[in-house]
Amino acid sequence: RSSHKYDVGNFLEIDPMLGTEKDFANLCIKAKAKGIKVILDMVFNHTGDDSLYFNKYGNYQSVGAYQSVKSPYRDWYTFGKYFKHGYRAWWDIETLPALNQDNKNYLDLLTDVLTKWLKLGASGIRLDVVDELNNDVVSHINKVCKGISDDLIIIGEVWEDASNKISYGVRKHYFNGHQIDSVMNYVFKKAIISYLKDGNYLYLRDSIRSLINNYPKYALDKMMNIVDTHDTMRLVNNFYNHVPKNKADAAKFKVSEEVRSEAILKQKMATLLQFSLPGIPCIYYGDEAGLDGFDDPFCRRTYPWGRENSKLMDWYKKLTNMRLDDVFNGGSYLEVKSSPSQFIFKRIKDNHEVLVIINNSNIFYEENKKAFDMLEMEEVDQIHVSPFSAKAYKLK
């Protein structure tokens, strides 16, 4: 079985490598006591070939779809000699046979899976490759989830503007009020990195404008603001002066302290944007500790226990403390300045204004204005932003 676990073996059981149902229920209870809600990553487009349903290798007592045309799971998949592996697989990956979403038993399975894990304590789901799911399937998922609780959140994995997404020639209806609450914000991720690497301020400016214009308010405020994920290289690696030619090159790559220090400055600038733009910041484990890595599998390295970058950890603590301010809870967004050198905007709520300044240049940025520095938690007589750094000020 894989380490990534997207090759589902049994939707209704926990991989024993990870624990038990009791462990999961206790995790949800203890997390809730600390104000934390658990969201599950759900994979409904495919299973593993080594699964209860497909059973390619005969490791389960069930008669799997691969083993017999008489299997109760046969119609869950699509077989044919015109497929690369003799069956339809996600992206032709042999270990990930794709599910037949037109099968009624498939919808019944989704109902059972969602009901079980949500009632055990999960507070929402992230739908893996949601653009591979039929509109009717996504609506069914919404109906099941919201039937359990209106407070359950549904986040979709969409890499583009989700308001006008077309997949396999079909327009998606994510924001019709009966599908998903919001999406992973790859749009901002790509624009933020492009701006900090290349000064592409128009890309960042227009990406923000576009999503504010296109997304309903409820979806805009719930966007999962990411700067990297398990499917992309680590944020800091985008700012190294090296692009590996292959995995062997990536595995042995070493970065100088000078280059790494400069890249971390960019990481800090990116994360202030991540925390202050509309949406909800999502930290990919280890970023806060200084973990780096190029594309998969290097972006999935283990957490550096005992070797964390303490200064970077302090930065993330400042960001999370700043984020508690109510202006970031649905406050409006106002452009102030966009250029290759500076990107400046305000978040406004109830006559309360926060000024965010990203100084993407090698000169100081200053304004003769009294304000409250939200990162250092102190009153200042002058707004002052060092080269290649970022600040957030509460205005008087």
Active-site amino acid positions:
128, 157
355 touches 336 (CB < 8 A): yes
234 touches 292 (CB < 8 A): yes
Whole-number CA gyration radius for the chain: 23
Report the C-alpha gap between 122 and 102 in whole angstroms.
27
Torsion angles phi and psi, residue 166, rounded to 5: -120, 125
CB within 8 A of 45, min separation 6: which ones? 90, 98, 99, 128, 129, 132, 133
For residue 70, give the DSSP letter: T
Which runs of consecutive H residues, i.e. helices, occur in the chain?
21-33, 104-119, 135-148, 186-198, 201-214, 217-221, 247-252, 257-276, 310-323
C-beta contacts of 312-317 below 8 A and 24+ residues apart? 312/264, 312/267, 312/268, 312/288, 313/288, 313/289, 315/268, 315/271, 315/288, 316/271, 316/283, 316/287, 316/288
Q: Which of 391, 378, 395 is nearest to 268 (CA)?
A: 391
Question: Beta 332-338 vs 342-349: how paired, if at all?
Answer: antiparallel
